[in-house]
Amino acid sequence: MKDLTLAICMYNAEKYIKETLKSVIAQTMQDFYLLIVNDCSTDDSIAVIEEFFTLHPRQYEIVNFEENHGIGYARHFAERKATTKYMMFHDADDILYPNAIETMYRKIKSDKDLMAVGCYLEYVNEKSKKIGGGIFLGETTKERFYKKAANKKLIFMQPTAIYDRALALSVGGYIIDGYPEGKPRYQDYCEDLDLWTRMSDLYKDGKAIIVVPEVLCKYRKIGNGLSSNSFNMIIKMRYTKRNLLLRRDGKKELTFIEFYNSLSDKELKKLKNDAKAADSLRNGVFYLKRKNIFKGAWEIMKSIYYRPGYIFDKLRHNFIKKK
């Protein structure tokens, strides 16, 4: 009996979903349920999927939402609809290498202490061409994970991972309650960081989250590469950290609404300046790489204006990481 569900949460993915599904049916391991959650797409995504599986028959299930809810809600739904021991989410525009699922599955099955196993990702563009860079986050050993979790650190890891569904649900899974109505949907930002960090509480039971240090997935970067607003991500990270500290102190967690309302005007202004500094620095690097010196220098000067120490913090962090 299959003990893994692969879920693809999709919204208007007709341009890329066929290539994504090709990578799914090309997996060296096929012993998993395939669940597709259609978050009220308005394009021809469903028609593309139906045609694909007519030509390439295999088990799959589509659930169609009648209104758009966002990625947080879609993952919350899929996590609870699944009945398997293990769960894996895959973005509708990303591409798995053929051995991705088998590699992570074998790893998590090899050690009862592992509650989640991820991998490295490399960046590709709209045409699936490598553009350099990637996401290389996560600890590669249980011991390093235990140390980080014990030190009350946020747990950064790619969303492309296989994890123990019951253990995730035991700490809340993907949480959608306690957020304000409407947009921005804060539950859609850093939703994986929130889950991995809450699961990290289980380090006391000997449970661990690690990554296989191999590139097993292509992560598609769409757009011109410029950043416009990091505020929503930064405030969600601060919220995740606040609740981590509260839990470890044996105190009740805050809902996002409670957390946001607890922030003073001064704290909110600082977070907004942090976000502007982050966006300006990223944009400055973007322009410098394209030899637009004037725009690059201007954006970096803006970053220093918004928060003078931000650029030095980034340089110090990257230096330590490289060492």
Please write the tens of the pLDDT for every residue from 16-54. Answer: 999 999 999 999 999 999 999 999 999 999 999 999 999
Cβ atoms of 107 and 45 within 8 Å: the answer is: no
- pTM of the predicted model, to two decimals? 0.91
Cα separation values, 268 from 7, 262, 280, Å = 36, 10, 18
Q: Find tokens 């989410």 and name the residue.
A: 89
Question: Which whole number is the average pLDDT over 283-310?
Answer: 88
Cβ atoms of 46 and 64 within 8 Å: the answer is: yes
Q: At residue 320, does pLDDT exceed 60?
A: no
Of 51 and 300, more confident: 51
Label the pairing between strands 4-10 and 161-164. unpaired
- Confidence band for 146, pLDDT divided at 50, 70 and 90: very high
Question: Which whole number is the average pLDDT over 315-321?
Answer: 50
3-state secondary structure (DSSP) of residue 245? helix
- Confidence band for 316, pLDDT divided at 50, 70 and 90: low
Please write the tens of the pLDDT for every residue from 156-170. Answer: 999 899 999 999 999
Q: At residue 176, does pLDDT exceed 60?
A: yes
| Structural domains in the chain plus CATH codes | 4-220 (3.90.550.10), 264-323 (no CATH)
Q: At residue 121, does pLDDT exceed 90?
A: yes
What is the b/e burial string over 157-196, where b = at least 16 CB atoms within 10 angstroms of the residue's CB?
Answer: bbbbbbbbbebbeebebbbbeebeeeeebbbbbbbbbbbb
Question: Which whole number is the average pLDDT over 52-68?
Answer: 98
Task: Determine what percent of the chain is predicted with pLDDT higher than 90.
Answer: 84
Question: Which whole number is the average pLDDT over 187-213?
Answer: 97
Q: At residue 190, does pLDDT exceed 70?
A: yes
